Chains A and B, each alone.
Chain A
């Protein structure tokens, strides 16, 4: 097969899947059935495009083929109609309408809001979003979350069944509930990004596939909701964080901390785009949590060197974030910033106030941050103990190697 056609189909899969599926769901009123038709449309592209040429608008071509397939099957086999209750949505079109409504931008939003409905469990929201909005197969989604394919298949089936049986509507929420519902969507995309940025387990520090998907979704949301400041904040946060991607690992694959990173390798384009988004997101008062997190990333991105970092500004931003989005993890980051702004003793004091937080009991960064301040204060024994605790709490091998090296340094100092 012609490599350019294969590449074009793969590209259309990555870029257009959500558009094609969402437009097809609108005529089928049934997600599973629409997925089947869309898969067939992509299979048809592989045989048809080498002969007819690659269409100028692949998404429109695929949508037409998928919708035509749906109508054919519905005509031939009425049982498709009755397999499950239809999706509920005020704007589903009649499949037999000879001139169905043109796909509109909102179709993808309907799909996203349905996948991220608050009545679905968070792990189902993530799985459905990857499967239906990003077009990943169940086995790909299972690999991303390190679970068995059968487990993931059951999770996706259960979620789809709930959408149909409980009548989770296929529509963009009303303005009154929109910001609350956007927050659920952004939480899902943010979880995807953080899971990829530092993988909870395994031999790789990052899971680039997850990071790329999250970036793709954030860009899609930005295009669909261009005036939403939280969306701008989330995309800004991703770009500013991702800009450091290539400097996080040394040549030998070991972890390089922010303080040691070669800032000339940071992606200047991503930083410039991210900073513009942060400015836009911060215009709303009070700022949202993603805007603040992005502003924090921007402070690091704008510092020419580690020692020139504006720690006072960071402490202030974390203080505002603690008010808007109180969480032990935010308090931990605040304490670390205090340590850099006012010295390791102050940092340690702030960290010790969090020692009894149950949510942090198994959080490796609390122990590793304590270890770091103790090391700076020359308390090697206590630092060693804290590094050991941190080590016992991480399943990421790159992080574990880093902590092991620090621990060895401490023990070497003792001799």
Chain B
């Protein structure tokens, strides 16, 4: 078995403009996903909007540069994630297809085993 981090990227402004029922549909989708794949879900969370992000980089000389905002400014921002256990990529993709992401999509990244 292996672990995959599924990153949920969505268009934040489109989500903000959407009808409240879209939010309910999304939450229902996550609940259904959790019920169905509970055994494979190792973790997961929804994130606050990217406008609440703070980026920290080591500065050239010493110390750190702290800036407001996400690491990369893109139309679709990271909005949540799941950590899933799967036998292989096909299994991970099959699960990822069931994650609600009406305003974007998801990215499946294998977790790199260390040691």
Contact = CB atoms under 8 A, between A and B. Distances in A.
Interface stretch (B20-28, B71-79, B82-90): B82-90
A88 B88 contact: yes
A165 interface: yes
Contacts of B29: none
Interface of chain A: mostly helix, strand, loop or mixed:
loop
Contact of A169 (B89, B108, B112): B89
Contacts, number: 24
B90 A166 contact: no
B93 interface: yes
B39 to A, nearest CB: 18
Interface in B14-73: none
Given A119-B93, A167-B2, A88 B110 contact: no
Interface residues of A, number: 10
A165 B112 contact: yes
A59 interface: no
Contacts of B112: 165
A156 interface: no
Contacts of B2: 167
A167 B110 contact: yes
A165 B111 CA distance: 9
Interface of chain B: mostly helix, strand, loop or mixed:
mixed
Contacts of B90: 168-169, 173, 177
Contacts of B108: 166
Interface string A208-220: 0000000000000
Contacts of A168: 88-90
A169 B88 contact: yes
Contacts of B89: 117, 119, 166-169
Interface string B96-115: 00000000000010101000
Contacts of A173: 90
B62 to A, nearest CB: 35
Interface string A74-94: 000000000000001000000
A109 to B, nearest CB: 15
A167 B112 CA distance: 11
Contacts of A167: 2, 87-89, 110
Interface in A163-197: 165-169, 173, 177
12 contacts: A119-B89, A165-B112, A166-B108, A166-B110, A167-B88, A167-B89, A167-B110, A168-B88, A169-B88, A169-B90, A173-B90, A177-B90
Pairs of residues from A and B, 8 with the lowest C-beta to C-beta distance, nearest first: A169-B88, A88-B88, A167-B88, A166-B110, A166-B89, A168-B89, A167-B89, A167-B2
Interface of B: 2, 87-90, 93, 108, 110, 112
